[in-house]
Structure 1
Amino acid sequence: MNTDVNQGSNLSRAPIVSIVARHSNSGKTTLLEKLLHETKKRGWRVAVVKHDAHEFEMDKPGKDTWRFAQAGADVVAISSVHKMAIIETREFERTLDEVLERLPEVDLIFTEGYKHGDKPKIEVFRSEVHKELFTKPEELIAIVSDVQFKVGVPCFDLDDVAGICDFLAEKYQIRRS
């Protein structure tokens, strides 16, 4: 695996690819869902880090973990046979690199919502939503779109998840199955 894209993370040496677009409702989440299905078919272990500019609520009011947090716990963890989650109260937002350092070892990390970050980017562009590319060409590794661009990076159709994964596998030497 290529480690130069991670820029300083200690624990995770996986390549990091940010799925970005100018606007919400551009198709980033839909593309990520399709990519995740394809990566699982290939046997890859994948992490997704989603940035939320708003307050999010992971826990349901009234449930035990929610009650513990409301009572003052700074960290609440819940674990079962198949899942584990940790909810941590923070005074300030962690940087993407700080979040990445806490991830377990995986083959590939996707981020969504870090469009101004310094990680390699795949921009989702739909002609009905966008007028021009948001990302500078030098920050892009690919474009996923319903129209073709000639900016020096591969341009994939919105449904070509196999092609995108083939591209990522070659670029970052990801092998599994």
Structure 2
Amino acid sequence: MTKQVPLVTIIGVSKAGKTTLIEKLIPELRRRGFRVGTIKHHSHPGLEIDQPGKDSWRHAQAGSDHVVVACPDRIASYRSLEHELDLDDIASEMTNVDIILTEGYMQATKPTIQVVREANSRELIGTAEQCIAIATDATLPVETPCYGLNDTVALADLLERSFLS
């Protein structure tokens, strides 16, 4: 049986800095020798990742249920779904990583790091039980450990201690 890859979801209101935090955590975790995967939830149907007119796009338009585009240094795979996949099902396909960071899965029952920006909203979302840290530029009256928005070294320390040791 394969070990389940740890999954931590980054949550926050729109424009809080979730993507920026993930962009900063990835190189810090990679610097430490960890392989990092990411999953971004897009809540609107009809995601287009291919370019109209390209061969792979034409395959999909013709009715291919699963399209894979491969080149010497990358592979991309996409398929049509009858229903939205559970986060664990998606994560189970990512076997070549040590940790998965997700963005946009606010309803998932996974450990979370919440991003709170004073200028945007001090609103906390999600559940306190799942929140392992808050990345913020505000002073918040909470018991959850708070880190600076740019303190990716300390946040990576937390992830390494909690999930990668």
TM range, smaller chain: over 0.9
Name the SS of the counterpart of 1:58 in structure 2.
Answer: coil
Displacement of 1:149 in angstroms is: 3.0
Displacement of 1:132 in angstroms is: 2.3
- Equivalence for 1:137: 128
1:162 to 145, 153, 158: 153
- Equivalence for 1:25: 15
- 8 Å contact from structure 2 (residues 98, 164) kept in 1: no
How many residue pairs align between the two structures?
164
1:95 to 81, 86, 93: 86
Tell me the TM-score normalised to structure 2 length.
Answer: 0.93
Cα pair distance change 1:119/1:81, threshold 3 Å = same
Displacement of 1:90 in angstroms is: 1.0
Tell me the TM-score normalised to structure 1 length.
Answer: 0.87
- Equivalence for 1:4: none
- Equivalence for 1:51: 41
- 8 Å contact from structure 1 (residues 12, 100) kept in 2: no
Deviates more, 1:10-19 or 1:112-121: 10-19
Q: Distance in 2 between matches of 1:170 and 1:42?
A: 12
Percentage identity across paired residues of the two chains: 40
- 8 Å contact from structure 1 (residues 48, 111) kept in 2: yes
Q: Distance in 2 between matches of 1:36 and 1:122?
A: 14
**2:162 aligned partner, one-letter code:** K
Cα pair distance change 1:101/1:81, threshold 3 Å = same
- 8 Å contact from structure 2 (residues 5, 95) kept in 1: no
- 8 Å contact from structure 2 (residues 122, 138) kept in 1: no
- 8 Å contact from structure 1 (residues 16, 108) kept in 2: yes
- Equivalence for 2:76: 85
Q: Distance in 1 between matches of 2:86 and 2:106?
A: 13
Q: Distance in 2 between matches of 1:86 and 1:170?
A: 33
- Equivalence for 1:69: 60
Q: Distance in 2 between matches of 1:15 and 1:44?
A: 12
Displacement of 1:155 in angstroms is: 0.6
- 8 Å contact from structure 1 (residues 12, 105) kept in 2: no
Q: Which runs of 4+ in 1 moved over 2 A?
A: 148-153
